[in-house]
Structure 1
């Protein structure tokens, strides 16, 4: 009896897999599962990192056993003339090439679409990158972890009071691999009709956005449960409460938080007018601004709280010159569970920073008021406040609060000095900054957003943590543990603002 073999759906199809790690190689693996001949092309000295990624059995990485199945492997240095010529000869016999080099890399080696399609007009070239071949982010590096953060997936995953939570496996890469295989088959179907190949431009972030459906819109329309989808504020724009036209301009300036100031920015003889004007403004529930009330030991403070705390347009109260936890508790009991932010502006407030930060569940943050603190301490040099700054930062973190924003830079014309001061504040541990003019906002945001290098480092740390639990060392010798991983996750969550 002769055994017969039923032809597989993709038998006779040749695929060149030039990609590394997950999304691109997974697409090639799936084509191989249905009978395509897949030739894995690796660099002679730098093979696909998935060979050594994660756990292994009998000396073979399990991820490689998954992604390398149904493939024959060869090595080529595509940056050298010999490797280029060999690939062009292979391309002439192939149906599909899958690659995930950074945009422009194949072109630099004279292996772009122009050269490949000239060698084989029926070729389908699938290009898998973080953000696609075109657009403002095209040349930014990125992996699936960043896509999971920027898409909003991490923000809506986990407990409401916990940090954004990443999946314990390569979710975005896997979805992108599935989408790439589907797009390749679509391009091949088009080739059957036209006789011509084409480029498949696959951005890893796009398929996961599709899978999330309308959920990214929850930034504007919060979901009924789960984590709130709001990025951490970086800019807090203060505006005088007795100048409604200026308040209106501030609301359109693009700050993360607008703070209507009834205290330092308003003269004593205009306090009542400022309160009334602010109350009229904040009857609108769509506004969601913060209000800095007058100091709690002044006669205006009780009127501020009684008038403004019930209004639907108030989303937070900033309490100046707080010196004790009892002051915070007294406000919390009157303020309908509004988020409270205590401003520490005296030596006594600094000494009691942790007790104030932990005084009540309504306390969402603490911060310094540096002008009054400077006067209280008699400090002339800016560096004289660094100990107090560090004390507040540590107290906030010890109480489980977000890192505090830096105090205002008073010279609105000195943008260079503002940038330098922000860099110093960021190094101390501040996150974001108060501003008193819209022109300060882009400088502050730029200073506190993570750089591309910091994003890459954070992705490396998070991916390493996904491979195995507990403390471990990266290939370059750096030691990472749970605290380092948590910091990397915060960096990726912050990066999705961009």
Structure 2
């Protein structure tokens, strides 16, 4: 299935509903930069400050191409401008200070206290730019006894409760195959930044957005805390099911595949058993309502698995769609690239990359009907925009820029 080809915007034009915003990104790896990616997707001018020697470690992380280049970097750094700046030098700190004075948002995910040691704390920056919003993404937040600790996404996932309930009950706690903790913290940081922008509109003053990885994970933990506090119930790892929510599981097919079926609502269950050819099961006392199906979850799953195992996955999916029963395949990348729904909604588009040529990339989400976001270019080369930004925004002369380069500041 062909996906839309999008040409890289040659002049790095800022378009989109956030195109009037300037964001300085001083974070690295994922927790801060994913926030920058989300803002950039909707048009914000995101100027990423990177160490002149090596840049963001994300340039080397993830699976590499045959040319030895990261395939993750073009995504997380898309729509951003790369400026090299050694923040450990007074000259580099002054460049950052001058850029932040012109900005709406600063994103950083250093350990608490790092920017303060560099003279770039919120109090100092706010004095320069009272409307500044400082987005701070860390493992444990800016306050509390754990704040000074190094915080990684995996630790935040564990502390926030996600790791304990993820995986097979017979195995150690599992992780998802992506950096979900970092990404969640970045999503909440983005929400905080946009809410704080509304505050600036009303008061003229910026503020600090304090997004902690463990709290972002905790926010998604549903009722696990009151369940324990009020009833003593501790959720455990349950593999492919949620306890007492049935039927909702992965079932085998005759072609050595598997499909997901989610029919735990009474009306949907009635449609499922009609598709199975056993409509009387809808009135069976063991399965007649949500509570009873949950109590007999194991035997109900075995019954459904016995039916699905006799049929080809394509036939099953066609029948279940006809009957109005939610069902689907477990997608991998190759399934996404071949799927007509992905193509029709342009969920994956193909950009042109200098080294890779055609480069498939997930599109901007969510979709806005009047002011959509867009991918205008993929992750830039290290320092690709240094001269442009220093000259156009800070009015640094060619001689100034040469001196900064000679001294290793850029």
Q: Is the 8 A contact 1:161 1:227 kept in 2?
A: no
Q: Is the 8 A contact 2:153 2:180 kept in 1?
A: yes
Counterpart for residue 63 of structure 2? 55
Counterpart for residue 89 of structure 1? 98
SS state at 1:56 partner: coil
How far does residue 151 in structure 1 lie from its aligned partner after superposition?
1.6
Counterpart for residue 163 of structure 1? 172
Q: Which has the higher contact order (CA 8 A, sep 6+)?
A: 2
How far does residue 124 in structure 1 lie from its aligned partner after superposition?
0.6
> What does 1:349-498 align with in structure 2 at a 5 Å threshold?
none
Counterpart for residue 226 of structure 1? 237
Deviations 1:299-348 (A, max 9, x none): xxxxxxxxxxxxxxxxxxxxxxxxxxxxxxxxxxxxxxxxxxxxxxxxxx
Q: Does 1:33 align with 2:41?
A: yes
**Unpaired stretches in structure 2, ≥5 consecutive residues:** 1-12, 240-410
> What does 1:41-120 align with in structure 2 at a 5 Å threshold?
41-57=49-65, 58-120=67-129
Counterpart for residue 153 of structure 2? 144
TM-score scaled by length of structure 2: 0.52
SS state at 2:190 partner: helix
**Unpaired stretches in structure 1, ≥5 consecutive residues:** 229-498
Question: Which of the residues 14, 17, 38 maps onto 2:25?
Answer: 17
CA RMSD of aligned residues (A): 2.0
Deviations 1:343-389 (A, max 9, x none): xxxxxxxxxxxxxxxxxxxxxxxxxxxxxxxxxxxxxxxxxxxxxxx
Q: Is the 8 A contact 1:127 1:201 kept in 2?
A: yes
Looking at CA atoms only, which structure, 1 or 2, has the larger radius of gyration?
A: 1
Counterpart-to-counterpart distance in 2, 1:197 and 1:67: 26
How far does residue 219 in structure 1 lie from its aligned partner after superposition?
5.2
Counterpart for residue 323 of structure 2? none
Counterpart for residue 186 of structure 1? 195
Counterpart-to-counterpart distance in 1, 2:193 and 2:157: 23
Question: Which of the residues 202, 213, 220 maps onto 1:204?
Answer: 213
Deviations 1:434-484 (A, max 9, x none): xxxxxxxxxxxxxxxxxxxxxxxxxxxxxxxxxxxxxxxxxxxxxxxxxxx
How far does residue 60 in structure 1 lie from its aligned partner after superposition?
2.6
Distance 1:47 1:225, change over 3 A: closer
Name the one with the larger helix percent.
1
Counterpart-to-counterpart distance in 2, 1:165 and 1:224: 15
SS state at 1:211 partner: coil
Number of aligned positions between the proteins: 224
Q: Is the 8 A contact 2:165 2:238 kept in 1?
A: yes
Deviations 1:158-190 (A, max 9, x none): 122211111111011111111111100000111
TM-score scaled by length of structure 1: 0.43
How far does residue 222 in structure 1 lie from its aligned partner after superposition?
2.8
Counterpart-to-counterpart distance in 2, 1:22 and 1:162: 28
